[in-house]
Chains A and B, each alone.
Chain A
Amino acid sequence: MLKDLRVSCAPHISEPFSTRSVMIDVVIGLVPAMIAAGYYFRIRAAVLIATCVISAVITEWLCNVIRKKPNSLDDFSAVVTGIILALSVPPGLPAWAAVIGSVFAIAVGKMVFGGLGANIFNPAMVGRAFLTASFGMLMTTWTVPATIDKTMPILGTKNDALLNEKLEVVARTQATPLAQSKEAIKNKTGAKRVNNHLPAAVIGEVGGCLGETSAIAILIGGFYLLIRKTINCHIPLAVFLSAYVFSGVTWLINPEAYISPAMHLASGGLLLCAFFIATDPVTAPLTKKGMWIFGIGVGTITMLIRIVGEYPEGVMFSVLLMNAVTPLIDRLCKFAPAGGKPNV
């Protein structure tokens, strides 16, 4: 009996949480967005997600073999990176490009820093940035959702009716709402027409990245993560509030040139970013205060790029930029122990 007794440091019990369960929760949270992607982009969604996940996993395994490190696949972080990368690229991206993106995301975004926990930048966003830099054309060609594209199979007659009644709808779906918003800013008119697409953006029937079109699906997944306490509400709230305030001010100044804040929140990658990308614990600050600074930074930079900058979408750059300053934010937010002074 004696030799069977174990000895270790207290505490002897622990919460049923592990890095793996956290990552699996994120995957579950991404399921609604993946379903929406499958619904709107059909086989392309399945191909892209599968390609990204498989190549991400294989890359991580290879890196571990090369570095002679224990296998780290069981923490599921490579799967999460693969899915997020797949969801944030255009549906028309060829599979070989997706492979390049995933390999770069895992190898350069994560493993060269020493693997999970040591990376400075969000791996999925590193991969996407690499793709944007390398294949600019592919990364800005948008496929219209299957549900309103005549050449692709459709589920019912509802979308036909949508097509027939509002011919303009067809024209709109060839560019993303954000690209149109850019046009509106240039021409100082037409923002209101873009705003009319809000219901379509909420359900996802607009052009855009694979998993970013359907606001409602991402919200469902995001709330799942919040309820499971996998993420906390500070970063999403900070992103939304700052983006809302920024776009709200421009909208109030000139509603003809600038689209409404609600439209900004519902379109593009802002929702996916707020719930799944910016909340990546490894690359976000540790403290509550730091999280708010980080979130406000992400929201503001996104809006700056969208409204003032040249690109129609700025989520990727804002996340990467804020990732870079995360160590500084952590240094800024000092810890004052209960009853003591902050450390120096």
Chain B
Amino acid sequence: MKVDIKGRFSFPGGTHPPQEKNLTSESSIQPGPAVKQVTIMLSQHIGAICQPTVNKGDIVKAGQMVGNSDAFVSAPVHSPVNGKVKEISLQSHMVLGRSPAVVIEAESENNPPKEQCCDKFTSDVDEIKYSAEQICSAVREAGIVGMGGAGFPTRVKIEPNPRLPKETLIINGCECEPYITCDYRIMLEWTNQIIAGVKLTKKTSGCSRVFIGIEDNKPGAIEAITESLKNSGNDDIKVIAVKTKYPQGGERQLIKAILNKTVPTGGIPPMIGVVVLNVATAAAIAEAVVLGQPLTHRVVTVTGEAVANPGNYYTAIGTTVGELIEFCGGITQKAAKVVLGGPMMGIAVADLSTPITKSSGAITVLTKEQIGGAKFARRQTACIRCGRCIEVCPENLNPTKIAHAVKNNLLDVAESYYLNACIECGCCSYVCPANIEITGYIKTGKIALARQKKKIPS
């Protein structure tokens, strides 16, 4: 199969923030820091928060479940190390502020992350061996959630649902966020593992078509996957080069680009028979099903001009941001902002003891000059109605209208302009010449609206 390296497919809207991926795109996945203590958040996913299944003082083994929930939309969490439960307490969480976590003290001082298991896979996995139910329960037991950022429990996504039959599986290898390269490195180095995961997912979900969408700024990944697919004779899996544009990796945008179908506003991809999975999630599925290993480690890109040694590290989940940054040589004087995730959608953390979770793909340390361009540094002027935010909005919303409605506490107006359809990609804030934090207002509005409807207590 010939790969069209120049992607033809895309979606309307979007922007082109500087890529900055060359900082880490050539550094192979290295083992991350050895940890003495890990902080396993009990909420690393969308859905019900887990209840701890261990008590203070318990001895736990690497891979042992430490938190679980009976809720359908949830995923258990596991310990990445052998050790002892030091405490179960509130810890700094990147989104929720302070949230319950299991703190585990490793039994030995030196606890390097476990071995990467990509070598254990060939491009040919015997998916016949596993029944759909087996795969599903293995995915659930391993606590796999979407590793691209949202952290939606994967089992819920891939489980066959007679009401919403799935027919197309899209594997998301876009990685449209600037700086982040973890998925790129995974696609290059763990190619066979990803394909194994894709085949297993295809079997479980009952999808008949599989597409792997990769942005055309990653020709290496496109070639590697195409080559591997060719060698194993998996002709039914197609690699699609898509245009390099932010937010190409949003699932609604990727579906639009590849299938030219639009997910209904407020709807989810299964409504049009589509499942979208991140490449890292696919790799985790292969690991869970074939090797029976839970999701306790992931690749994290530590990057930014203010980090001494940027790179991609295979790290135990529960390692703190501070430890990872120290491991990379610490941050330089220029550092002004530490972001969990990429600069477009990531969450700025002030507390470096915040642990990484299953869905944190990167730690980006930005310098003063870089965020000097960001909103707070410059004077915010009134909206000059230039319409740039409308032009770039991938969801075709009117961001300025919504932001001003929220600002003036007119939540009903904001809702009528589809406040909740916003995917929070940040394009509008990125282009706004008046420096209005449009995305911030929209996020605030969403929370306020949910509170108004009594979903979240204030």
Contacts and interface: CB of A to CB of B under 8 A. Distances in A.
- Same complex for A and B? Answer yes
Interface of A: 1-2, 4-19, 21-22, 72, 74-75, 114-118, 232, 281-282, 284, 286-287, 291, 335-341, 343-344
A11 B336 contact: no
Interface in B382-433: 382-388, 390-391, 394-398, 400-401, 416-418, 421, 424, 426, 429-433
Given A117-B384, A281-B386, A338-B252, A13 B366 contact: yes
A2 B352 contact: yes
B394 A11 contact: no
B384 A11 contact: no
Pick the most buried of B331, B337, B341: most chain A CB atoms within 10 A of its CB: B337
A343 B348 contact: no
B15 interface: yes
Q: 7 smallest A-B Cβ distances: which pairs?
A: A340-B265, A117-B382, A9-B440, A11-B426, A339-B262, A281-B386, A19-B381
Contacts of B12: 338
Most buried by B among A11, A336, A337, A338: A11
Given A13-B343, A13-B366, A18-B433, A282 B384 contact: yes
The winner among A2, A10, A16, A74 for most chain B CB atoms within 10 A is A10
Given A12-B343, A118-B382, 16 more contacts: A5-B350, A7-B350, A12-B370, A13-B344, A15-B430, A18-B435, A114-B382, A115-B382, A116-B384, A232-B391, A282-B384, A291-B387, A335-B396, A335-B397, A340-B421, A344-B416
14 contacts: A4-B336, A5-B348, A6-B337, A8-B375, A10-B344, A12-B370, A17-B388, A232-B391, A286-B387, A337-B397, A337-B418, A340-B264, A340-B418, A344-B416
Contacts of B17: 11, 13, 15
A14 B421 contact: no
Mostly helix, strand, loop or mixed at chain A's interface?
loop
A336 B395 CA distance: 9
Contacts of A75: 381
Contacts of A2: 350-352
A329 B136 CA distance: 53
Nearest to A335: B398
A232 B386 CA distance: 10
B339 A12 contact: yes
Contacts of A6: 336-337, 348, 350, 371, 376
A173 to B, nearest CB: 39
B457 interface: no
B442 to A, nearest CB: 10
Given A1-B331, A5-B338, A14 B429 contact: yes
B164 interface: no
A10 B12 CA distance: 22
Interface string B17-35: 1100000000000000000
Given A282-B384, A344-B416, A339 B440 contact: no
A13 B371 contact: yes
A15 B397 contact: no
B374 A11 contact: yes
B54 interface: no
A1 B396 CA distance: 41
Nearest to B433: A17
Nearest to B330: A1
Nearest to B262: A339
B348 to A, nearest CB: 4
Nearest to A118: B382
Nearest to A116: B382
A10 B264 contact: no
Given A13-B430, A15-B430, A281-B387, A338 B256 contact: yes
A335 B401 CA distance: 11
